Each structure stands twice: as C-alpha cells, then as structure tokens.
C-alpha cells in the first residue's frame, strides 16, 4: 500500500529522475526530507538538486520563476500553504503575469500542504485554492486521491504554466492505495468518484472522502448520490458537472475553504448560469464557517463540513 504522501514523494523522485531540468527548493527539504517527509531521501539520491532555502518565501518564489525562465522546472515546497501569503506577490504578480506579458512561459510547481487537521490551528490549516484561482495565469490542482496526487504532480511539472498544487495534509498518511497508476485523466477533467442519479455532490480534495461517506450513508436509505471530484479547480470542468446535474437535477457544492467566493460559489454560479434548466431544486452549498480555522478538534470538527453535515444537507436537498 502506498500513501498519498508517498505518492507525492514518488512523483517528485520520478520527475527528478526523468527530467534534468527539475529541482526542488524549500525549507528543510534537503537532508531532513521536509516537515512532512515529502522529500525524504531525495537530496541523498539526487545530490545538489534538492535545496534547502532560507526562510524567504518571496525569494523562494522569485528564484523559482527566474530558473523556470531559464529552462528549469522548479518545484517549490511551501512548508505550509499558509506561509505562501508571504510569497504571494511573486506568485500572483510575477509568475502569473509573465507569459501573458512577455510570451515567455513560467513552468513552476508550487506545492502547498493545505487544509485542516485537528490541532493545527489558524495558521497551519488554510485552504487557499480560491485565492489563487481568482488570478489569471495560474493552474490550481487539488488532488483527492493517491493516484491523482501522483499523476497530477507529474503532470504539474510537465505543464508550461505555473501550477499551484494543493495537496491535503489530512490525506497524507490516512489515504492509501494499492499501487500507483499507469495512466490518468488529464488536468482539467473532473472524475465521477461515485455514480448516482438522485443528486450530485461537487467537491474536491479531502472533502471528496467526506462526500463519499455521506453518499454511503444515504445509500442505506435508498438514495443514489453522485460524487464529482473536480481534481482541478482551475480550470474547472464545468461540462462534467453540468452533465451530472442533467442526470440528477440536484446539486450540492462542498468545500473545506471559507465560503465567500470559494469553489462552491464558482461552481454554483456556473451551474446557475449554464445549467439553470437542468435543476429540479435550488442548488445548495456547504463550506467551512466564516472564521479562522480553530485549533481545538471539537471546534475544528464543526468548522469544516463533514460526512454528517453533508448528509444532512443532502437530505434537505433531496426533500426540496
């Protein structure tokens, strides 16, 4: 069995192996192997290509952009997604505008260990995918499975544009798969994680598993819930979402991030504008609460959506 974290390590190892342009840059990622061990042994196996950076997120990002412009394929590990706010300017103003302004592409991959785990608190739990998705010029990947963590990271490195790779910390050790995939859906295609005909849940990352658990629960009551794993939230595969809604007539969008302008807002805005006539009931959304992510597990468990609250929302949606 291979974990989500191991899949990320494996993808990086393979990228280093196959492509001499790849190098990795981040805090404590060298001999130490990273705060989460996502680069364990890579510095040893690929000497000089897994570099410890100073605690300088702005310079980390800027230098990756420069190296990419000169033909390298840098992977930058942020120690936590939350710390990318101090490298923010380079990502959204330098990397994201470079191709459009100058015609020179910027193939960097920024790994953001994202999302909540119990006891991580307001500054080690954030889900910033919507923040980055708002800016033109970035691609935002949000793998929910071991297979996608692996194949999408490899694809991220191959893409000519800046990729924000939101890997979910809650899945690092929890999630296991028997083996790594040989092929995968391309970036930009959503996946039907579970087929159903009564309602569609559209979600991504760790929430896919909460949604699947909710679907299991509702299955015992006779409901067939379709669960869509967006995989990438920018580009967002509106077609697959609409096709599902065409079948079910009902949609619940679920996201772990804050509500205002998050993935759920974007999904529902698209469904409402482009698939209005497919809907048999008002669409619904479920997000975290609109406060910082709490430290205490009791609070954390209520702050984010869970299988339980998703089930409750679905029952309401099915009644509507």
Partner 1 sequence: MTGMLPLSEAPYAAGRTSDFSETYRRAYRWMLLARVAEEKIASLYRGGKITGGVFVGRGQEAISVATGIALRDGDIFAPLIRDQAGRLAFGESLLDFTLTYLGARSGPMRGRDGNVHRGRPKEGLLPMISHLGAMGSVVNGMLLAHRFQGKKHTVGAVSLGDGATSTGAFHEFINQAAVEKLPLVLVITNNQFAYSTPTNRQFVCADLVDKAIGYGVTGHSVDGTDLAACLQTIGGAVQTARDGGGPQFVVATSLRLAGHGEHDDSHYIPPQLKETHLGRDCLSVAEEHILSQKWADATTVEAWHRDSHTQVEEAVAHSLREAAPDPAREDWCALSSRHLQEGPELHPPLKY
Ligand X SMILES: Cc1ncc(C[n+]2csc(CCOP(=O)(O)OP(=O)(O)O)c2C)c(N)n1
Binding mask 173-212 vs its own copies (x if CB under 8 A, - otherwise)? ----------------------------------------
Smaller CB separation from its own copies, 32 or 276: 276
Closest listed residue to residue 230, CA positions, set 185, 196, 173: 185
Q: Give CA–CA dist 165/236, Å, rounded.
A: 14
Q: Give CA–CA dist 84/97, Å, rounded.
A: 18
Smaller CB separation from partner 1, 52 or 224: 52
Per CB under 8 A, 306 contacts partner 1: no
Shortest spacing between CB 178 and partner 1, in angstroms: 29
Closest listed residue to residue 275, CA positions, set 284, 286, 283: 283
Q: Give CA–CA dist 287/273, Å, rounded.
A: 21
Strand 73-77 to strand 225-229: parallel, antiparallel, or no bridges (unpaired)?
Answer: unpaired
Residue bearing tokens 């092929």: 183
Site for ligand X in 56-75 (CB under 6 A): 57
Find out whether 52 and 27 touch, Cβ atoms under 8 Å: yes
Q: Which of 25, 83, 172, 204 binds ligand X (CB under 6 A)?
A: 83
Per CB under 6 A, 258 contacts ligand X: no
Q: Is 209 a catalytic residue?
A: no
Closest listed residue to residue 127, CA positions, set 158, 177, 74, 170: 170
Q: Which of 78, 177, 268, 310 binds its own copies (CB under 8 A)?
A: 268
Closest listed residue to residue 212, CA positions, set 197, 192, 231: 192
Per CB under 8 A, 318 contacts partner 1: no
Smaller CB separation from its own copies, 209 or 304: 304
Q: Which of 44, 136, 276, 280 binds partner 1 (CB under 8 A)?
A: 136
Per CB under 6 A, 109 contacts ligand X: no
Per CB under 8 A, 126 contacts partner 1: no
List, in order, residues 6 or more apart from 59 with CB less than 8 Å away: 53
Shortest spacing between CB 124 and partner 1, in angstroms: 7
Q: Which of 12, 27, 109, 126 binds ligand X (CB under 6 A)?
A: 27
Per CB under 8 A, 266 contacts its own copies: yes
Question: Could you say which DSSP state residue 90 is in?
Answer: I
Integer angstrom CA distances of residue 43 from 23, 26, 28, 49, 109: 10, 12, 11, 7, 18
Closest listed residue to residue 126, CA positions, set 205, 27, 70: 205
Strand 50-52 to strand 109-114: parallel, antiparallel, or no bridges (unpaired)?
Answer: unpaired
Which stretch in 46-54, 170-178, 200-208, 214-222 sits in contact with partner 1 by CB under 8 A?
46-54
Across the strands, what pairs with 192? 228
Q: Which of 102, 176, 195, 276 binds partner 1 (CB under 8 A)?
A: 102
Shortest spacing between CB 42 and its own copies, in angstroms: 29
Q: Which of 279, 307, 312, 318 binds its own copies (CB under 8 A)?
A: 279
Site for its own copies in 218-257 (CB under 8 A): 234, 236, 257
Per CB under 8 A, 236 contacts partner 1: yes
Per CB under 8 A, 119 contacts its own copies: no
Whether cis (ω within 30° of 0) applies to the bond prior to 277 is no
Residue numbers of the site for ligand X (CB under 6 A)? 27, 55, 57, 79, 83, 86
Task: List residues with catalytic annotation.
Answer: 124
């Amino acid at each position: 069995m291979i974990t989500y974290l191991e899949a990320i390590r494996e993808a990086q190892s393979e990228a280093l192996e196959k492509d001499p342009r790849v190098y990795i840059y981040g805090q404590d990622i060298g001999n130490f192997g990273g705060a989460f061990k996502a680069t364990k042994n890579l510095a040893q196996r690929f000497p000089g290509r897994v570099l410890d950076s100073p605690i300088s997120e702005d310079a980390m990002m800027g230098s990756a952009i420069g190296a990419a412009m000169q033909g390298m394929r840098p992977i930058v590990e942020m120690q936590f997604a939350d710390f990318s706010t101090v490298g923010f300017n380079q990502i959204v103003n330098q990397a994201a505008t470079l191709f459009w302004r100058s015609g020179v592409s910027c193939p960097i991959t920024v790994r953001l260990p994202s999302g909540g785990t119990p006891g991580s608190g307001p500054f080690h739990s954030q889900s910033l995918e919507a923040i980055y998705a708002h800016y033109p010029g970035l691609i935002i990947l949000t793998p929910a499975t071991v297979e996608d963590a692996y194949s999408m990271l490899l694809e991220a490195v191959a893409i000519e544009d800046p990729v924000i790779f939101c890997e979910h910390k809650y899945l690092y050790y929890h999630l296991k798969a028997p083996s790594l995939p040989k092929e995968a859906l391309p970036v930009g295609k959503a996946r039907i994680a579970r087929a159903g005909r009564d309602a569609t849940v559209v979600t991504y990352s760790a929430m896919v598993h909460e949604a699947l658990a909710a679907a299991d629960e509702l299955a015992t009551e006779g409901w067939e819930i379709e669960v869509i794993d967006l995989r990438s939230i920018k580009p967002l595969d509106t077609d697959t979402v609409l096709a599902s809604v065409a079948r079910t007539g009902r949609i619940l969008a679920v996201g772990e991030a804050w509500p205002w302008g998050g993935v759920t807002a974007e999904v529902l805005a698209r469904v409402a504008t482009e698939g209005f006539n497919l809907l048999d009931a008002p669409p619904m959304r479920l997000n975290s609460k609109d406060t910082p992510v709490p430290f205490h597990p009791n609070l954390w468990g209520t702050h984010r959506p869970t299988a339980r609250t998703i089930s409750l929302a679905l029952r309401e949606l099915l009644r509507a």
